Amino acid sequence: MKILILPGDGIGPEIVGQAVRVLEKFKAEGVPIELSHGLLGGAAHDAHGHPYPEVTQQQARAADAILLGCVGGPQYDTLPRAVRPEQGLLGIRKDLKLFANLRPAMLYPELAASSSLKPEVVAGLDIMIIRELTGDIYFGQPRGRRTNAAGEDEGFDTMHYAKSEVERIAHVGFRTAMKRNKKLCSVDKANVLDTSILWREVVTEIGKQYPEVQLSHMYVDNAAMQLVRAPKQFDVIVTGNIFGDILSDEASMLAGSIGMLPSASLDASNKGLYEPIHGSAPDIAGQNKANPIATVLSLAMMMRYSFSREDLAQRIETGVRKVLASGARTGDIALPGEAVIGTKAMGDALVAAV
Ligand code: NAD
């Protein structure tokens, strides 16, 4: 298991540090883990003048899986767009052809009170949102700014999906559903968009290869509503880049805290980049306050999806549940009046429980 560690910026080094301790525990038990460390985002810009420098590119290509903290920070906001930290993230995803983004939204029963929805609506929630990551309106050409015939400034973007792009993400959706409850909901806007009409046709066609999976289709506006009305109706959702961007953030709020949710971005052969969904939290960086659980759960996803080590994935996930059941809480998941522990103490508890 050649694993590249990219702590990134802000709270990144603190939270990734705790996940590395879990990896070191596995390594000490004889799991064949080989760690290397590198720079991405603002940290890479500081050292090499680019958020995804050549040296990191080589490390990333050589690795089997990558654990990333988070990138960005106010000190980089005035940099030219091409060298901002987020460009490092977009760059590595593109370079490694990571087209499938898997974001689970689950609510641990111990945290049911931290969700913005009523506990009975969300308790036991466990859904997986699969977002296509390299196509759609974020990458379609042409795009830009121009002056129209009436002399007015306008901006324009192009929504675009090729059949093969829909096919490969549909396969990820169906395969993921096969490993779970065999229910897949494809989200589009086929009542309005030609891109979505193609999307729906292709997903339906691929579905014939997975007769055991119950496939349904939903318009994105309805899906946004159903996610807050009755989120437990979903198992796996598959959708395009822009709809997935929005729906996965919406779903993350169901889970109570942004500090709890992991993600995976995979290529066609399950090489992956694993990272928490939150940002670099500059407001609490360096203060031993950040919750490392999302990062440690990203490691569980890595063990499951890139290394097929369901046993190690479950040890991590069960460890997290044990720690939560014991009452350990960082500030972001503590209810008013509950005792709060720091990043390092949460790491100690996680390492012991795994
Ligand atoms: P953020 O996710 O960093 O923070 C939002 C809020 O959640 C803050 O109050 C923060 O303290 C809190 N928070 C986030 N993670 C936490 C954790 N693990 N434990 C406890 N609290 C946590 O979002 P933002 O403030 O909008 O962005 C800050 C920076 O992060 C920006 O530069 C942004 O561009 C970048 N960003 C990076 C990523 C990424 O690396 N994938 C994602 C989103 C934002």
CB–CB of 4/60 below 8 Å? yes
Q: What is the pLDDT of residue 258?
A: 83
* Of 280, 320, 343, best ligand 1 pocket probe by most atoms within 8 Å of the beta carbon: 280
248 in contact with ligand 1, CB cutoff 6 A: no
Nearest CA to ligand 1 atom 7: 281
pLDDT for the residue 316: 98
Query: Closest residue (by CA) to atom 8 of ligand 1?
Result: 281
Q: Which mutation among 278, 298, 329 tests ligand 1's pocket best, with the greatest number of atoms within 8 A of CB?
A: 278
According to CATH, where is 3.40.718.10 located in the chain?
A: 1-99+267-354, 105-259
Nearest CA to ligand 1 atom 11: 281
Per-residue three-class SS string for 277-327: CCCCCCCCCCCCCCCCHHHHHHHHHHHHHCCCCHHHHHHHHHHHHHHHHCC
Q: How many whole angstroms separate alpha carbon 228 and alpha carbon 221?
A: 12
State residue 247 phi and psi, 5-degree precision: -65, -35
Q: What pLDDT does residue 246 have?
A: 94
**What local confidence, expressed as pLDDT, does residue 179 receive?**
86
pLDDT score recorded for residue 111: 86
Interior angle at CA 224, CA 193 and CA 162, nearest 5? 35
Q: Cα of 150 to ligand 1 centre, how many Å?
A: 42
Q: How many helices (H) and strands (E) does the chain have?
A: 12, 12
Q: Which atom of ligand 1 is found nearest the CA of 295?
A: 18
Residue 278 structure tokens: 């939150």
Is residue 249 helix, strand or coil? helix
Q: Give 66 Cα–ligand 1 centroid separation in angstroms.
A: 20
Give the angle 81-86-87 at the CA atoms, nearest 5°. 60
The C-alpha atoms of residue 102 and residue 302 are separated, in whole angstroms, by 11
Q: Assign domain 1-99+267-354 to a CATH class.
A: alpha beta
Domain 105-259 in CATH 3.40.718.10: yes
Task: Find residue 216's DSSP bridge partners.
Answer: 185
- CA count, 13 A, side-chain hemisphere, 193: 18
Alpha-carbon distance of 223 to 275, in angstroms, equals 25
For ligand 1, say whether the CB of 137 is within 6 Å of any of its atoms. Answer: no
**CA quadruple 172, 176, 179, 184: dihedral positive or negative?**
negative
Q: Give the separation between CA 303 and CA 152, rounded to whole angstroms.
A: 53
The answer, yes or no, to whether any atom of ligand 1 lies below 6 A from the CB of 319, is no
Evaluate whether 179 touches 308 at the Cβ level (below 8 Å): no
Coil, helix or strand at residue 181: coil
Is ligand 1 within 6 A of the CB of residue 279? yes
Cross-strand pairs, 37 = 5
pLDDT for 297 equals 97
Of 126, 138, 157, 219, the active-site residue reads 138
- Token pair, residue 24, equals 């070191």
How far does residue 279's CA lie from ligand 1's centre (Å)? Answer: 3
pLDDT mean values, one per 10 residues, the chain (354 residues): 98 98 98 98 98 98 98 96 94 95 90 85 92 93 96 97 98 94 97 98 98 98 96 97 94 84 94 96 97 97 94 97 95 92 98 98
d(C-alpha 254, C-alpha 216), whole Å: 22
Does the beta carbon of 342 lie inside 6 Å of ligand 1? no
Cβ(72) – ligand 1 distance below 6 Å: yes
Nearest CA, atom 13, ligand 1: 281
